[in-house]
């Protein structure tokens, strides 16, 4: 087991399934993967005296916030969740709070509430390679652009937004990675749990992302308007100022850069990581 073989002081838990719509169809799978895995990990950590834990949570724990309550802060209410995926994140946050209350001088737990991470590393060598049918907007958009999928469904045209499509706080995945690096220096100041919003603070509609992606790939995206997707919230974006104050982190990359980097990854890797052995053998060393 890794805990016996290595001298571990901090665990980052990135595991789990992550599709809102899919979770409404497969709740047992979500409860099994997204909660049992983290519980087992925490048990092993305690047995091996590892105190520092960073949990990948999600903005979905805020449920569907009132438009008057945006941008959303870490202190705003959580738990009124719209789908099983979100409930698993919320229940795991509850477990972490309970652990910290039980042993306040032992655990040092950072909960990162990601908004919508998208994009790829600017080298075009590291990106998302979904197995099977992707559920999220950006990989689907990229698949339409490369011709792997005929058309993009746009879920909802009657939300109260400038173009009728839902608003999200899309954040470049490299900015998310950088936020994690910042946490490592901060554990000495943490007792119990600390929660951070990891977003840009700016809301974009699904249409904004489609238009930005069309510019990145230089071609129109075939689309069709569909009804609302179960479990979707109309509008959410965050106040990320706590992460800036405590961790010295803020998002630096725009939504146009997210699209450009994602498109570079797809054009350089049309078969995803099927060719990953080539990457390993090349001795690639990517700097963050
Ligand atoms: O084919 C698609 C897929 C999505 N959307 C819309 O695009 C937006 C974003 O959807 P998606 O990319 O699936 O993200 P979310 O449902 O907002 O949830 C994502 O973002 C959360 C916050 O980080 C994560 O916790 C979840 O894992 C992740 O699925 C939503 O308005 C969807 O309705 C479409 O219009 N068509």
Rounded Cα–Cα distance for residues 58 and 69 (Å): 17
Q: What is the pLDDT of residue 129?
A: 86
Rounded Cα–Cα distance for residues 286 and 125 (Å): 9
Domain containing residue 216: CATH number: 3.40.50.720
Atom 16 of ligand 1 has which residue's CA nearest to it? 20
Q: What is the pLDDT of residue 284?
A: 55
Q: Residues 145, 221: contact at Cβ < 8 Å?
A: yes
Distances (CA, A) of 49 to 9, 52, 108, 180: 8, 10, 12, 21
Atom 35 of ligand 1 has which residue's CA nearest to it? 154
116 CB within 6 A, ligand 1: yes
11 CB within 6 A, ligand 1: no
Tell me how many domains the chain contains. 1
Q: How far is the CA of 46 from the centre of ligand 1 (A)?
A: 34
Q: Is 105 left (phi over 0), alpha (psi -120 to 50) or beta?
A: alpha
What is the token pair recorded at 142? 């990229």
Rounded Cα–Cα distance for residues 278 and 164 (Å): 44
Q: What is the pLDDT of residue 287?
A: 47
Q: What is the pLDDT of residue 276?
A: 56
Rounded Cα–Cα distance for residues 267 and 217 (Å): 9
Q: What is the pLDDT of residue 163?
A: 95
Kindly provide the residue ranges of all beta strands, DSSP E only, lying in 79-138, ordered along the sequence.
108-114, 116-118
Does residue 123 lie within any of the structural domains? yes
Q: How far is the CA of 141 from the centre of ligand 1 (A)?
A: 12
Atom 25 of ligand 1 has which residue's CA nearest to it? 58
Q: What is the pLDDT of residue 30?
A: 96
Q: Residues 154, 206: contact at Cβ < 8 Å?
A: yes
Atom 5 of ligand 1 has which residue's CA nearest to it? 137
Does residue 277 lie within any of the structural domains? no
Does residue 163 lie within any of the structural domains? yes
Rounded Cα–Cα distance for residues 179 and 177 (Å): 5
Rounded Cα–Cα distance for residues 22 and 33 (Å): 13
Does residue 2 lie within any of the structural domains? no
Q: How far is the CA of 21 from the centre of ligand 1 (A)?
A: 8
232 CB within 6 A, ligand 1: yes
Long-range contacts of 24-27 (CB under 8 A, 24+ apart): 24/83, 24/84, 24/230, 24/231, 26/84, 27/84
Q: What is the pLDDT of residue 187?
A: 87
114 CB within 6 A, ligand 1: yes
In 3D space, the residue among 99, 138, 94 whose CA is nearest the CA of residue 117 turns out to be 138
Atom 30 of ligand 1 has which residue's CA nearest to it? 166
Q: What is the pLDDT of residue 270?
A: 80
Rounded Cα–Cα distance for residues 17 and 23 (Å): 8
Does residue 60 lie within any of the structural domains? yes
Atom of ligand 1 nearest to the CA of 205: 31
**Full residue range of the structural domain in which residue 40 is found:** 7-272
Does residue 141 lie within any of the structural domains? yes
Q: Residues 195, 113: contact at Cβ < 8 Å?
A: yes
C-alpha dihedral sign at 77, 50, 85, 266: positive
Q: What is the pLDDT of residue 81?
A: 92
22, 61, 229: residue to mutate for ligand 1 pocket, most atoms within 8 A of CB: 229
> What is this model's ipTM?
0.95
What is the token pair recorded at 147? 């011709």
Name, in order, each residue with C-beta under 8 angstroms of 122's C-beta and a sequence gap of 6 or more. 174, 257, 261, 264
Does residue 83 lie within any of the structural domains? yes
Per-residue pLDDT of the chain (288 residues; tens, 9 = 90+): 889 999 999 999 999 998 888 899 999 999 999 999 999 999 999 999 999 999 999 999 999 899 889 999 999 999 999 899 999 999 999 999 999 999 999 999 999 999 999 999 999 999 988 877 888 999 999 999 999 999 999 999 999 999 999 999 999 999 999 999 999 888 888 889 999 999 999 999 999 999 999 999 999 999 999 999 887 889 999 999 999 999 999 999 999 999 999 999 999 988 888 765 555 555 555 444
Q: How far is the CA of 136 from the centre of ligand 1 (A)?
A: 5
Does residue 259 lie within any of the structural domains? yes
């Amino acid at each position: 087991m890794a805990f016996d073989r290595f001298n571990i002081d901090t665990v980052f838990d990135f595991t789990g399934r992550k599709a809102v719509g899919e979770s409404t169809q497969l709740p047992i799978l979500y409860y099994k993967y997204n909660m049992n895995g983290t519980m087992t990990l925490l048990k092993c950590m305690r047995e091996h005296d590892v105190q520092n834990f960073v949990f990948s949570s999600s903005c979905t724990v805020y449920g569907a916030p009132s438009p008057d309550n945006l941008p959303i802060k870490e202190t705003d209410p959580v738990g009124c969740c719209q789908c099983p995926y979100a409930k698993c994140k919320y229940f795991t946050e509850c477990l972490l709070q309970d652990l910290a209350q039980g042993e306040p001088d032992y655990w040092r737990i950072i909960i990162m509430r990601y908004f919508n991470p998208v994009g790829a590393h600017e080298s075009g060598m590291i990106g998302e390679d979904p197995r099977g049918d992707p559920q999220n907007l950006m990989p689907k958009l990229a698949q339409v652009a490369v011709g792997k999928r005929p058309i993009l469904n746009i879920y909802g045209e009657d939300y109260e937004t400038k173009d009728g499509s839902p608003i999200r706080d899309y954040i470049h995945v490299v900015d998310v990675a950088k936020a994690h690096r910042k946490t490592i220096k901060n554990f000495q100041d943490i007792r119990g749990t600390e929660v951070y919003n990891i977003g840009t603070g700016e809301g974009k509609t699904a249409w904004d992302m489609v238009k930005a992606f069309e510019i990145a790939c230089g071609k129109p995206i075939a689309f069709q308007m569909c009804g609302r997707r179960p479990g979707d919230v109309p509008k959410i974006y965050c106040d990320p100022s706590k992460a800036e104050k405590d961790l010295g982190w803020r998002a630096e990359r725009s939504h146009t850069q997210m699209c450009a980097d994602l498109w570079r990854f797809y054009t350089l890797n049309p078969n995803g990581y099927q060719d990953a052995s080539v990457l390993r053998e090349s001795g690639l060393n990517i700097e963050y």
